[in-house]
């Protein structure tokens, strides 16, 4: 059966939400019975975002097979509940690297290597790589950047050739653009979108669907105008109106028939007639949205990190809290606290009103002492605490200093000459000088101690697999000394005997994990660690009479859906 390919481009400006549109369409098609995956092509020359500062590109999302990828893959996985891989995120740097490797090995038989055909052919190879596996009926491809960008031109040419080779029956082009409202004129302006489509046409690409980002309803007059001047059917002019939550977007898209247009244009009812449903079954999604929109209370949780000034630096963590909050019937208000500014003198004022503390992952020594102070405050005041990756390491350092009385305890990442290296560089990392893709990356097995809090949280499982991204580990030389002072190591990688989870069982909820559980939260299925942590924060808030919104009868709130039955 021929795989269908959907390409999503953007115009006028970046950050319009191409990833959310891709994820929403993917979920709708998935709920119509189709097997869907989504991939992202990024036009930057970095091989992957792994070496980028979070202020440059937001968080780095890690897949099971160890790919360091764009944060949009997190949206794909959370919406679809389908794991992504190395093949789901391709950059210009990776494309050129592959072509140069082939040239060096003589694969091009002495020919002059050029953008056309060699770079374009390499892009097309990656465009159809997932489809060729036979695992998917539909592959949605998001092209990063904006139409007209110099670095994006090879991707548009690749799409043009790909559509020519595969035929219009098997390919669909969606163009996302902006409809700005000019206050002085008192109207929505379509001219930027018209120019964006003309730019796209100059590369030989005619959009089949126009998705328009707007802050207000799209009138029929504007739809007709866009359809006329952009050569698009009027019903294929879709409004992507600002919503309270990104999780409302699939229902907004469904109301306007985006999935129906895709099914019709790609002849899916004929080609996949035994599996395509007449409409997507969105009952579960609607139930999730009602939980999200109708919380019974609100809890404040501190997210202590060094990149909190960038809204996307901890994207998967913040989304995991949204999902875990909905599952617990509450809204989680994240209090973003810059760790650089936390000290013994101000810690009480900064954390006085929170119901839980999460110390975030990161690299480098900036802000570490503030994170350690946050751990100490949570531990000493019995506030629910959750440490992720570096957050776990900070918990170990704090415990070593203030409970074990090892005052010089530190990580060799921050103090290479420390006399008490409770956190140390992995042995195999000591010979590595290159930065990109050289950490402990991807999914590894974690064996859970029977009867531990971790085992209980995971539903009594003895083993789980979680995703990692780090170079430093808890030092096994000092591990048993820490255990003698009361720290429990309840999750261990069985193959290499590396500590994955630490707990303080006498504390109401104190867990640190070396891995990144935020990468496994999906809609309707938040990671159990996040769900349990939020539940503990709710209990703490109730005990302290600190629930911000009193519990009471559920109130009707507007949700973007045509009816309760979707």
| Angle at CA of residue 270, ends 126 and 79, nearest 5° | 50
The three-point CA angle 508-510-515 to 5° equals 150
Q: Which residues pair with 488 in a beta bridge?
A: 503
**So what's the pLDDT on residue 56?**
80
Is 3.40.50.880 the CATH number for 298-425+474-490+499-543? Answer: yes
**How far is residue 83's CA from residue 431's CA, in Å, rounded to a whole number?**
32
Burial of 35 (0-12, 13-18, 19+ CB in 10 A): middle
Helix (H) or strand (E) holding 349: helix 347-351
> Would you list the DSSP string of 467-484?
EEEESEEE-HHHHHHHHH
Whether CATH 3.40.50.300 fits 4-287: yes
**Bridge partner residues of 440 (DSSP):** 470
Chain CA centroid to CA 558, Å: 27
Cα separation, 468 vs 389, whole angstroms? 8
Residues of the chain with pLDDT under 50: 550-566
What are the tens digits of pLDDT across the range 29-45? Answer: 999 999 999 999 999 99
Pairing of strands 297-305, 237-241: unpaired
Q: Tell me which residue of 313, 50, 6, 315 sits closest to 175, measured CA to CA.
A: 6
**Tokens linked to 243:** 């919503």
Domains 4-287 and 298-425+474-490+499-543 share a fold: yes
What tens digit of pLDDT does each residue of 44-70 get? 999 888 888 787 878 999 999 999 999
Q: What is the DSSP string of 417-465?
A: T-SEEEEEE-GGGTT----TT-SEEEEEEEEEPTTSHHHHHTTT-SEEE
> Quick one: tokens of 349?
């004022």
DSSP letters, 73-117, are HHHHHHHH-----GGGEEEHHHHHHHHHHHHHTTTTTTPPP-III
Per-residue model confidence (pLDDT) at position 336: 94
Instruction: Tell me the pTM.
Output: 0.92
Is 267 buried (19+), middle (13-18) or exposed (0-12) by CB count in 10 A?
middle
Specify the long-range contacts of residues 48-55, CB closer than 8 Å, at least 24 apart. Answer: 48/89, 48/91, 48/93, 48/94, 48/436, 48/437, 50/435, 50/436, 50/437, 50/439, 51/435, 51/436, 54/307, 54/310, 54/312, 54/313, 55/307, 55/309, 55/310, 55/313
- Which residues, 6 or more positions from 508, have their beta carbon under 8 angstroms from its beta carbon? 382, 384, 536, 539, 540
Query: What pLDDT sits at residue 81?
Result: 94
CA–CA gap between residue 496 and residue 499 (Å, rounded): 9
CA separation for the pair 151, 131 (Å, rounded): 25
Predicted local distance difference test score (pLDDT) of residue 240: 93
Q: What is the pLDDT of residue 435?
A: 55
CA distance linking residue 139 with residue 129, whole number of Å? 10
Residue 213 pairs in a beta bridge with 178, 240
- The answer to whether 367 and 375 have CB atoms below 8 angstroms apart is no
Q: What is the pLDDT of residue 551?
A: 42
Is residue 470 within 8 Å of 439, Cβ to Cβ?
Answer: yes
> What string of H, E and C letters represents the secondary structure of 380-422?
HCCCCEEEECHHHHHHHHHHHHHCCCCCCEEECCCCCCCCEEE
Record the tokens describing residue 37, joined without a space: 């995956």
- Residue 121: alpha-carbon gap to chain centroid: 29
What residues are labeled active site? 389, 516, 518
C-alpha separations of 238 from 104, 364, 440, 470 in Å: 47, 45, 43, 42
203 in Cβ contact with 154 (< 8 Å): no
Domain extents in the chain: 4-287, 298-425+474-490+499-543
């Amino acid at each position: 059966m021929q795989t269908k390919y959907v390409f999503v481009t953007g115009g006028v400006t970046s950050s319009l939400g191409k990833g959310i549109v891709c994820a929403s369409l993917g979920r709708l098609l998935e709920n119509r019975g189709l097997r869907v995956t989504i991939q992202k092509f990024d036009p930057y020359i970095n091989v992957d975002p792994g070496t980028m500062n979070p202020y440059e590109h937001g968080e780095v999302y890690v897949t099971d097979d160890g790919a360091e990828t764009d944060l949009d893959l997190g949206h794909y996985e959370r919406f679809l509940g389908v794991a992504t891989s190395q093949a789901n995120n391709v950059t210009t740097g990776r494309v050129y690297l592959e072509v140069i490797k082939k040239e060096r090995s003589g694969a091009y038989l002495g020919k002059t290597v050029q953008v056309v055909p060699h770079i374009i052919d390499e892009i097309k190879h990656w465009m159809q790589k997932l489809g060729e596996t036979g695992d998917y009926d539909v592959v949605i491809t998001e092209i990063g950047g904006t139409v007209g960008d110099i670095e994006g031109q090879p991707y548009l040419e690749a799409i043009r050739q790909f559509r020519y080779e595969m035929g219009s029956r098997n390919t669909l082009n969606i163009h996302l653009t902006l409809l700005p409202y000019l206050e002085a004129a008192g109207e929505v302006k379509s001219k930027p979108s018209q120019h964006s489509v003309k730019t796209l046409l100059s590369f030989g690409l005619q959009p089949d669907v126009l998705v328009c980002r707007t802050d207000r309803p799209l009138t029929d007059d504007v739809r007709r105008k866009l359809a006329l001047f952009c050569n698009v059917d009027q019903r294929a002019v879709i409004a992507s109106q600002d919503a309270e939550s990104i999780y409302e977007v699939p229902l907004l898209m469904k109301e306007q028939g985006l999935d129906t247009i895709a099914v019709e244009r790609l002849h899916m009812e004929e080609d996949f007639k035994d599996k395509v449903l007449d409409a997507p079954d969105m009952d579960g999604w609607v139930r999730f949205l009602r939980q999200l929109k109708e919380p019974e209370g609100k809890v404040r949780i501190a997210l202590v990190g060094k990149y909190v000034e960038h809204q996307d630096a901890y994207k998967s963590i913040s989304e995991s809290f949204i999902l875990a909050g909905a599952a617990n019937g509450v809204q989680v208000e994240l209090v973003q606290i810059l760790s650089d500014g936390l000290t013994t003198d101000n810690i009480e004022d900064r954390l006085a009103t929170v119901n839980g503390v999460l110390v975030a992952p990161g690299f480098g020594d900036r802000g570490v002492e503030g994170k350690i102070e946050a751990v100490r405050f949570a531990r000493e005041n019995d506030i629910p605490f959750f440490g992720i990756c570096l957050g776990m390491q900070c918990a170990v350092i704090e415990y070593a200093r203030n409970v074990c009385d090892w005052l010089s305890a530190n990580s060799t990442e921050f103090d290479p000459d420390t006399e008490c290296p409770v956190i140390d560089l992995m042995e195999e990392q000591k010979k590595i000088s290159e930065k990109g893709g050289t950490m402990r990356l991807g999914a590894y097995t974690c064996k859970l101690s029977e009867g531990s809090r971790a085992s209980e949280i995971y539903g009594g499982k003895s083993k789980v697999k979680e995703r990692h991204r780090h170079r430093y580990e808890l030092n096994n030389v000092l591990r048993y000394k820490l255990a003698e002072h009361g720290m429990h190591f309840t999750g261990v990688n069985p193959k290499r005997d590396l500590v994955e989870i630490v707990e303080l069982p006498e504390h109401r909820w104190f867990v640190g994990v070396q891995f990144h559980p935020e990468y496994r939260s999906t809609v309707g299925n938040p990671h159990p660690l996040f769900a349990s942590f939020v539940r503990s924060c709710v209990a703490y808030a109730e005990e302290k009479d600190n629930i911000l919104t009193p519990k009471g009868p559920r109130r009707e709130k507007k949700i973007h859906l045509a009816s309760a039955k979707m």
